Structure 1
Amino acid sequence: MSENDKKQWYNELGSEYMSFIKRFVLASGSLKALAKVYAVSYPTIRLRLDRVIERVKILDEQRDSSPFERELSLLYAEGKMDESTFTTILAAHRRQGEDA
């Protein structure tokens, strides 16, 4: 496997996200059917799909970013940190890289 292949978004998604995508495909893209599979409401499954989409976007767009920056972006996309914290940590990390 080449270095470029290792950086493909689907190689970094994780089993939980891949399982969700598999179930989504098997449900023919029906969020209503997927909500039944997970026994949750439609808005809950829509939110989960939105998070998967954001994760894929980040992993695909930031292939050349450092692992730290990708992980930080993923945490922000998943709602695990607010925007102010995200931008502060990212700026500090980039400053540290410039000083090195």
Structure 2
Amino acid sequence: MRMNEEPSWISDLNDEELEFVKCFILSSGSIKKLASIYSTSYPTIRKQLDKLIQKIRVGERKENDKIIRLIHQLEKEGKIDQEIAETVVTEYGKSLNCLITE
């Protein structure tokens, strides 16, 4: 990864999740401090953090997935068109998102 490139897992996070990560870092990783900031309980913050961890892991799995790399390679070689490649990758990505539990 180049210094000016944003890791893909960051672009997968919405604004609320990015703010949560920022507050987590600024609170030195203290879930107790974060619970105080959000005026909620420790278990609620722990659950939010666990969900973010899952989301990041799924994102990394998608990024390193052999099937997704194969689809991109087939597109690059001209064996399938871009629209088909994007559709397959998007639908496959949705199936991986099902791994994120509430």
**Which category of TM-score, normalised to the shorter sequence, fits these structures?**
0.5 to 0.7
Matched, 1:77 2:77: no
- What are the ranges of 5 or more consecutive residues in structure 1 without an aligned counterpart? 80-100
RMSD of aligned Cα (Å)? 2.0
Which residue of structure 2 aligns with residue 67 of structure 1? Answer: 90
Q: What corresponds to 2:9 in structure 1?
A: 9
In 2: Cα distance, 1:52 partner to 1:68 partner: 21
Matches within 5 A, 1:13-32: 13-32=13-32
Identical residues among aligned pairs (%): 32
Q: Distance in 2 between matches of 1:22 and 1:68?
A: 30
- Give aligned pairs, total: 75
TM superposition score normalised by structure 1: 0.64
**Given the superposition, is the C-alpha separation of residues 61 and 77 from structure 1 closer, same or farther in structure 2, using an over 3 Å criterion?**
same
Partner-residue secondary structure (3-state), 1:18: helix
For 2:90, give the aligned amino acid: P
SS state of the match for residue 94, structure 2? helix
Following superposition, the deviation at residue 75 of structure 1 comes to 4.5
Take 1:7 and 1:59, find their aligned partners in 2: how far apart are those partners? 10
TM-score w.r.t. length of structure 2: 0.63
Shift of 1:73: 2.9
